[in-house]
Amino acid sequence: MFSELDKGISKEELYEIINQFALNNDLLYTKKALELSFNAHDGQFRKEGTPYVIHPLIMARHAIALGIKDDDILSIILLHDVSEDCDITLSSDDFNETIRESVELLTYRKDTSLSRYKSKKKYFEKLAENKYAALVKAFDRCNNISSMIRGFSDAKIKRYIKETIDFVYPILDRIEEMWPEYTDCIFDIRYQMDSVISTIILSKPDMV
């Protein structure tokens, strides 16, 4: 069923594309982030069975395709899961404060004093105040929505759709309002997420 989709693009191909883009545009942090992410996620796999590092690599490739050349944004995309999933603390010797602060905001740590829903709400509201973290979360959720049908249970898909509607769509609205230079990016991200969610809901109406 997924034979054609499974072929995809390899992590090595993605690495080379992003690495060459970083070299061509003098993106020193991106090149460093690419290497760190590629090595840190080595041996990790997504629920759908793909190498984990393909997730940040695809996100970075998506951002590049939409015209983003910002060294900080691409670095944050590549590094957004290294603290949460690899227990890595970014060094001030390697990355600037913007990158380190944004990655920290994107690192989810459950507040045990709150319910899961309220803890997530707190997390999303905090990162939404930061332009870089907000934009990277938009790319992150778009990629996760695109692949969730292959790795999530129906219960998790339903929960993820609700979380997206409640917390992520307001972030997209905020980005368009506060940082209009990313309006085209948000249009693409919103359209892709809408398409996937609508398709799932039409095929499984009990998802909402």
The pTM of this model reads 0.94
- Give the C-alpha distances (Å, rounded to integers) separating 132 from 1, 14, 94: 37, 22, 18
The pLDDT assigned to 145 comes to 95
Angle CA(46)–CA(48)–CA(53) in degrees, nearest 5? 30
Q: Could you give the domains of the chain?
A: 3-207 (1.10.3210.10)
Q: What are phi and psi of 145, to 5 degrees?
A: -60, -40
The pLDDT assigned to 164 comes to 97
The pLDDT assigned to 4 comes to 46
The pLDDT assigned to 207 comes to 66
The pLDDT assigned to 191 comes to 97
The pLDDT assigned to 7 comes to 56
Nearest Cα neighbor of 57 from 99, 27, 95, 13 is 13
Give the residues of the chain that fall short of pLDDT 50: 1-5
The pLDDT assigned to 1 comes to 36
Return the amino acid letter for 176.
E
